[in-house]
Amino acid sequence: MKTAVTEPRWLRWLLIALALGFLALNLALPLIVVFAEAFRKGADAYLAAIRDPEALTALRLTLTVAAIAVPLNIVFGLAASWAIAKFDFRGKALLVTLIDLPFSVSPVVAGLIYVLLFGMQGWFGPWLRDHDVQIIFAVPGLVLATLFITFPFVARELIPLMEEQGREEEEAALSLGASGWATFRRVTLPNIRWGLLYGVLLCNARAMGEFGAVSVVSGHIRGKTNTLPLHIEILYNEYNFVAAFAVATLLAGLALVTLVVKSFLEWRYAEQLAGHGA
Amino acid sequence: MRWLIRSALAAGALAMALPTLAAPVTLLNVSYDPTRELYRSVNAGFARDWQAKTGQAVTINQSHGGSGKQARSVIDGLEADVVTLALSGDIDEIAARSQLVAPNWQGRLPYKSTPYWSTIVFLVRKGNPKQIRDWDDLVKPGVSVLTPNPKTGGGARWNFLAAWGYAQKTYGTPAAAQDFVRKLYAQVPVLDSGARGATTNFAERGLGDVLITWENEAQLAARELGAGRFEIVVPSVSIRTEPSVAVVDKVVDRRGTRKVAEAYLAYLYTPAAQELIARNGYRPRDAAVAQRYAARFPQLQLFDIDRNFGGWKKAQATFFADGAVFDRIYTPGPR
């Protein structure tokens, strides 16, 4: 009997070893380094760094920004992909291109766009100042920049999925008298929920980790407008390596939590996942 | 009647005591790169001082970065109550482009609003393996030099002018000086945006044989990053660097923080603050403090921005504006 695998055994092992080695080098090793550096001066130094008020503010700020940006991008992403996949209209290609824009624009440029719009020398800056509204160098600017950067993640995940699933089920639901909302909620949403979850996780990871765009609009006020990635850079630049890596473990921790949530959901809903194949 | 007087007196006494209950105030100090450690200690000192004098609690928030970049942020609306930048030219830029600072700001505090000064020195690795003693050694083949980008960093611009001044003095003509800085910047593998990035690249990532930087930054690196790993080399001649401070008029008037902001900058000139300044490696203005710390700050021949370069306005236009000398001599990337 002939097996499906034709490659010699040594080649299979070699490929597996290569893949694992690559993972170890590029993922496991940096993670180990982060934790090793963070605990280099012992648990006390680590805890002191984590409990530092500036670190806590940075953590809170990062979570706040993500908590605003991610839900908004879920709504935008759903609306955009729903419109693109289920309807035909003029300018659709343009819309798809626009959604991809944040992927192709450098984050620094993304940040500068907001400075040019809302900065004191920008279009709306003087008006905002007269009305006591602070957008850049404050939390709203951080949220806007993050929103822009993470905009494509949900939509990009959903568009191909929705296009592949086609419109038949929705059309059937509508022809049977379901309202648009009911169709979305009972037909579309269950079909796309795994894609949506991936999109949300990616979006969230990027929202918490974004550096470039946020750096431009932050103003770097310690204890006020520094998110975790910015705070890590500052600590590193102050030769405060233990604190920098300690705070980095917080960021790594947030990423790990995200992964655990994803794995748990996959395990919990394994059957449905297999059933829908999404 | 009696109790009325008494309660009136009591109310009066309460009113007198009220300043101790004054609402806490915050200031934002937008500063350049290497002053993080300096202002951490100065801020604590001022907060104690201010609380003792007025009963008001004051918190000073800090923002640090390349001096030019920081000035740009203030112009773009970063709400700084005070700016403490690497050179007067950057504060002039704020005054000119945004009118946030009154044009006469330099005359409002002693020493043209420069409460401390410093100079530019070299930091080399232990034992000085490339035998760097003076500016000429930097352009020798095989010497890799780290200095930040003069377009964004304040210290970077002082570095450039110090090198230029040396070359002009040694070789006589501006053409020769231009040739010297062209050679010098051809030896720079990476231009960081600020002094601190360059220090980290030199000290932590092991890039370069020599770092051109502020004396205070060199002292901090030599002290903080493991004693004995680095050596400071003081060249035969350098430049007198004068970081400047100013209250941002429009911001303090809008926020109602003028009084505390002005007191904060005035505090920098007090003996207590001058002591902190000297301890952090900046050269103090106070004669008594300067004398106490004389051993830390070697004497050397110094160029002056006003006398030798005609002031920052002229220097900026000649050397660092778009299409000026620096743009002509520096071509990034592999050569």
pLDDT of residue A5: 75
> Regarding beta strands B210-214 and B145-146, do their DSSP bridges make them parallel or antiparallel, or are they unpaired?
parallel
How close A121 gets to chain B, by Cα (Å)?
A: 6
How close B3 gets to chain A, by Cα (Å)?
A: 47
Residue B26, strand partner residues: B59
CA of B29: which chain A residue's CA is closest?
Answer: A221
Structure tokens at A124: 């709306």
CA of A215: which chain B residue's CA is closest?
Answer: B65
pLDDT (mean) for B231-254: 95
Cα separation values, B197 from A108, A267, B32, B204, Å: 18, 45, 12, 10
pLDDT of residue B18: 47
Per-residue model confidence as pLDDT tens digits over B69-83: 899 999 999 999 999
In this prediction, the answer to ipTM > 0.90 reads no
B208: left (phi over 0), alpha (psi -120 to 50) or beta: left
Query: Is B159 a residue whose pLDDT tops 90?
Result: yes
pTM attached to this predicted model: 0.82
Partner A contacted by B76 (CB < 8 A): yes
How close A32 gets to chain B, by Cα (Å)?
A: 19
Per-residue model confidence as pLDDT tens digits over B13-70: 544 444 445 789 999 999 998 898 999 999 999 999 999 999 999 999 999 988 888 9
Query: Residue B329: which of B210, B191, B122 has the closest Cα?
Result: B191
- Which of A129-143, A167-181, B255-269 holds the top average pLDDT? B255-269
pLDDT of residue B112: 94
pLDDT of residue A278: 42
Mean pLDDT taken over chain B: 90
Partner A contacted by B36 (CB < 8 A): yes
What is the distance of C-alpha B87 from the center of its chain? Answer: 7
Per-residue model confidence as pLDDT tens digits over B97-110: 999 999 999 999 99
Cβ distance B77 to A234 less than 8 Å, yes or no, reads: no
What is the distance of C-alpha B266 from the center of its chain? Answer: 17
**pLDDT cut 90: percent of chain B above it:** 78
Per-residue model confidence as pLDDT tens digits over A168-206: 888 888 888 888 888 888 888 888 888 888 899 889 989
Cβ distance B79 to A125 less than 8 Å, yes or no, reads: no
CA of B59: which chain A residue's CA is closest?
Answer: A223
How close A244 gets to chain B, by Cα (Å)?
A: 13
SS3 at position A168: helix
Per-residue model confidence as pLDDT tens digits over B268-306: 999 999 999 999 999 999 999 999 999 999 999 999 999
Partner A contacted by B327 (CB < 8 A): no
Q: How far apart are CA B306 and CA B312, in angstroms?
A: 7
Per-residue model confidence as pLDDT tens digits over A62-101: 999 999 999 999 999 999 998 888 888 888 889 888 898 8
Query: Is A142 a residue whose pLDDT tops 80?
Result: yes
